[in-house]
Structure 1
Amino acid sequence: MEHYEKSIIPLIESVYANLTPLEKTIADFFIHNREEMDFSSRNISQLLYVSEASLSRFSKKCGFKGYREFLFHYRQTFSSSDEPAADDQTKLVLNTYQELLNKTYSLVDIPQMERILKILTTKKRIYVYGRGSSGLAADEMRFRFMRIGLNIVSITDHEMMRMNTVVISNDCAVIGISVSGQTEAVINSLRESKKQGAATILMTSCKEREFQKFCDEVLLFAVKEHLENGKAISPQFPILVMLDLLYSRFLQSDKFRREALHEYTLNVITPVPKDKNGLR
């Protein structure tokens, strides 16, 4: 469980929704392939019944100069590990978690983490928006970061998100959480918050060029749709892993003071035991 590998598969998955049907055929092959083989453009084009030009266009949509560069990175991260037995449900679930962790490791961008950390430490108030399971993750972020001194509020109701826009200013940062990147209430609130001068961060599994127009940072987390046993995994898991990475860096940025705040908060919320007379 301690071995991590860099992989370009999360990059493929982040642009998957923007691919043409033909390009999705190519993406599905590279996402699910587990065998070492001849990956030359000629062989793959014949295997998938696509043109070599289609392979080149697909590679460019994934962020590479062409198929040759894409293949170089794909070969570096290729693994031929055996799949767990189909009837071993425990292994399937645990290996799905492991794959999510590997994908998260591949997506971590340290300079971006530092930029987000700067936003969190310089803005007077942080708002976190999310709906459904993403709303639960937003609440978890508020609970954790509040304990170490961050002025943070989570909002999970779409009407409250709209109303909250009136108090947004350039002293604020707004973090939106949407696994699909299509949660209308969250996306619209980020767009409006940007107009109000706030720093805006979107946490999502989907990479869209449109987000760059109203988001200062788009923090990608691992997606589970293409994992073998994804339905057994909570959709909050990849979000919480990325939040843990942010939390760890935030804590270390002023470790002594933040740990003291955390301890103080725990003491405040822990009930004081009563003596034998019923007094505290």
Structure 2
Amino acid sequence: MGYYIKSVVEIIESNYDNFTDVEKNIADFFIHNNKKQKFSSKDLADKLFVSQASLSRFSQKCGFRGYREFIYQYLEDFVEKEQDVTGNISQVLNTYQELLNKTYSLVDENQIKRIINYLNTVEKVFVCGKGSSGLAANEMELRFMRIGVNIDSITDSDQMKMRSIFHNENSLAIGLSISGNTEEVLYYLFEAHKKNAKTVLITSQNKKAYKNYCDEVILVPSLIHLNHGNVISPQFPISVMVDLIYSYFVKEDKNKKEKLHDDTLRALNIKIEKEENDL
């Protein structure tokens, strides 16, 4: 696991939309900086044309007590970015590795355990998303259905609106939205919360408003500040997180769940054999 390095850059990115314009200027500096050096609050304030108080407020919004604690952690976890990488293949693969590093920095094992508890106690699971997040929702349904979870995926906007009312305290609603701005997904979670369902949002943004209707907000890396982020599948960060949840879920009562998975494979093979015999 030594290849994965925790970094405060992911914390900055997940809180980016909560910053003022001045704080975004500070955030951009730390996100794109690739030189390890000492940053006194006075020197950096002068360099960025901001006040030292702004640096302190920025640090507190990132979850630190102040700038001194923030910069200590930033320098402690700092990884200099290689500038001599050549070749499109290397750049794309390095971008995927960077996403994995970011996921490692954001993942909360205790939070995953809480999600597993939801999966084990509710009667019905609904997962919704649009576009690439919709594809991830479909895949999540297929994978968890095969190990015994009563789960449906919803990718149509009208379906999300209509089915949002069919919730109760025995259901779990999971919304997938990398941007955190997909209105239909947020509406679905809001309405499900009103019906006392458990609600989970998987997103790259950490907005205070989510806490009003989401029991859990699972943070995944953003593609915005990545080199070659535009050629990386947008569903990749969500797929990695779903894999982590799936892995934890299968680990509990592993023999039973692996048997269910194998039974679905046998069912598919029986169907294929029957069709071949009919030919």
TM range (shorter): over 0.9
User: TM-score scaled to structure 1, two decimals?
Assistant: 0.95
Which moved further from structure 2: 31-40 or 233-242? 31-40
* TM-score, normalised via structure 2 length: 0.96
Q: CA separation in 1, counterparts of 2:143 and 2:99?
A: 22
Contact 1:6–1:102 (8 Å) recurs in 2: yes
d(CA) in 2 for partners of 1:272 and 1:139? 23
Structure 1 contact 84–91 (Cα < 8 Å) conserved: no
Aligned twin of 1:32: 32
Structure 1 match to 2:185: 186
Pair 1:130 & 2:129 matched: yes
Please tell me the root mean square deviation across aligned C-alpha atoms, in Å. Answer: 1.7
Distance 1:200 1:275, change over 3 A: closer
Q: Measure the CA separation in 2 of the matches of 1:244 and 1:55.
A: 37
User: Which secondary structure does the structure 2 equivalent of 1:167 belong to?
Assistant: coil
**Partner in structure 1 of residue 255 of structure 2:** 256
Deviation at 1:222, TM superposition (A): 0.7
- Identify the residue that residue 70 of structure 1 maps to in structure 2: 70
Amino acid at match of 2:44: I
Aligned match of 1:11? 11
Contact 2:165 2:191 in 1 (8 A): no
Distance verdict in 2 for CA 1:184–1:42, change over 3 Å: same
| 3-state SS of paired residue (1:39) | coil
Number of matched residues? 278
CA distance in 1, matches of 2:2, 2:265: 31
Does the CA-based 8 Å contact 1:175-1:200 persist in structure 2?
yes
The alpha-carbon deviation at position 166 of structure 1 amounts to: 3.0
Per the alignment, residue 223 of structure 2 pairs with: 224
On the 8 A contact 1:84/1:92 being kept in 2, the answer is no
- Alignment check: 8 A CA contact 2:164 2:189 kept: no
**Matched AA of 2:158:** E
5+ residue gaps, structure 2: none
- Does 1:99 pair with 2:98? yes
How do 1:18-57 residues align onto structure 2 when only pairs under 5 Å count? 18-57=18-57
Mapped to 1, the partners of 2:8 and 2:142 lie a distance apart of 33
CA distance in 2, matches of 1:240, 1:209: 24
Q: Tell me, yes or no, if structure 1 residue 237 matches structure 2 residue 236.
A: yes
- Offset at residue 122 of structure 1 (A): 0.6
1:37-84 CA-to-partner distances (Å, cap 9, x unmatched) read 121111211221211111001101111111011112111110124234
- Which deviates more from structure 2 when the two are superposed, residues 31-40 or residues 103-112? 31-40
**Structure 1: which 5+ residue stretches go unaligned?**
none
Q: 1:194 Cα deviation (Å)?
A: 0.4
Kindly indicate whether the alpha-carbon contact (under 8 Å) linking 1:142 and 1:153 is maintained by their aligned counterparts in 2.
yes
* C-alpha distance in structure 2 between counterparts of 1:9 and 1:119, whole Å: 30
Separation in structure 2 between the aligned mates of residue 36 and residue 228 of structure 1, nearest angstrom? 19
